[in-house]
Amino acid sequence: MKQRPMRLQKGDTVGIVAPASPPNQQQLTKALDFIEGLGLQYVVGESVTAKEHYLAGSDELRVRDLQRMIEDPSIRAIFCASGGYGSARIADQLDYMLFEENPKIFWGFSDITFLHTAIGNLSNLVTFHGPTLSSLGREDIPERTYLMFEQLFNPAEIYYDERISQLQTIAKGRVRAPIVGGNLTLLCESLGTKFEVDTTNKVLLIEDIGLEPAQIDAKLNQLRMARKFEHCAGVVIGSFTHAEPRDYADSPSLDALFTSYFKDFNKPVVSGFKFGHENLNVGIPLGVDVILDADEKVLAFLPGVE
């Protein structure tokens, strides 16, 4: 059982960092208003306004920024301002004992998947797969996306069924196991490193953006050959956004592609969950036990905080 960080209280201070690419400052400003509306104070790290090509400052700056936030006892949670690219560049320079000695909420998604996997493997800490702050500043964000931050204040089970989005059972079954995963590209990039995603007896979550079906096929095949599907307890398929065919006009639909991989799976697989790169992005804990019931199309999470 992974360690769960302590819940937030009104008046707590949280840290904002950019471990990957620079955030959209205009969207971030809107999101910081939302953070204040939650009754939280915030400290903005140096990386949030730094820029070095496509990175939010140098690797050294991003490492220093994140580790300061972890070590500072007055910081009760860390929210990632943006994804993009660059988390993997700093993963081997972080001190994972710091996370274990200073357990606190760590929240983000997309490129941040690499850090979720690393922290889960090496710090034994529950982290949160949820919208980066700059993505909250876009137009037309549904209320449920914002409401998912309430789980950080009040430990509660999350119950996801078809009242939230239409779900499709690809392979039947029911399992209880810890959930891991996130962005498909970043999970593949972890393979062969000391941060490799461990799917053994775990439910695997996958999502991505901007990949056409042939590219998704290639990454699914990579996980298959790395035996990540063979070892897992089930698969949760989140949002695959902007996945239209480009170079390969004669592409299968995503439903057909996922079915080709999982239809003969002897374990539950369900698609259609709004975890990922859409305006409805349901924030969830990683590392907690979930019940995935493909027959009833239900995914239930244990609380992510103490």
Provide the annotated active-site residues: 110, 207, 277
Separation of alpha carbons 288 and 39, rounded Å? 26
Main-chain phi, psi angles of 68, to 5 degrees:
-60, -45
Torsion of CA 59, 64, 182, 3, to 10 degrees: 150
The residues, ordered by sequence, that sit 6+ positions from 72 with a Cβ below 8 Å of its Cβ are 15
H/E run at residue 186: helix 184-190
DSSP 20-53: SSPP-HHHHHHHHHHHHHTT-EEEE-GGGG--BT
With tokens 């208003």, the residue in question is 33
End-to-end Cα distance, the chain: 13
Order the strands of the 168-171 sheet from edge to edge. Answer: 158-160, 298-301, 289-293, 174-183, 203-209, 234-241, 269-271, 168-171
Q: Which of 129, 163, 156 is nearest to 296 (CA)?
A: 163
- Which residues is 180 bridged to in the sheet? 204
b/e map 129-140, b = 16+ CB within 10 Å: bbbbbbbbbeee
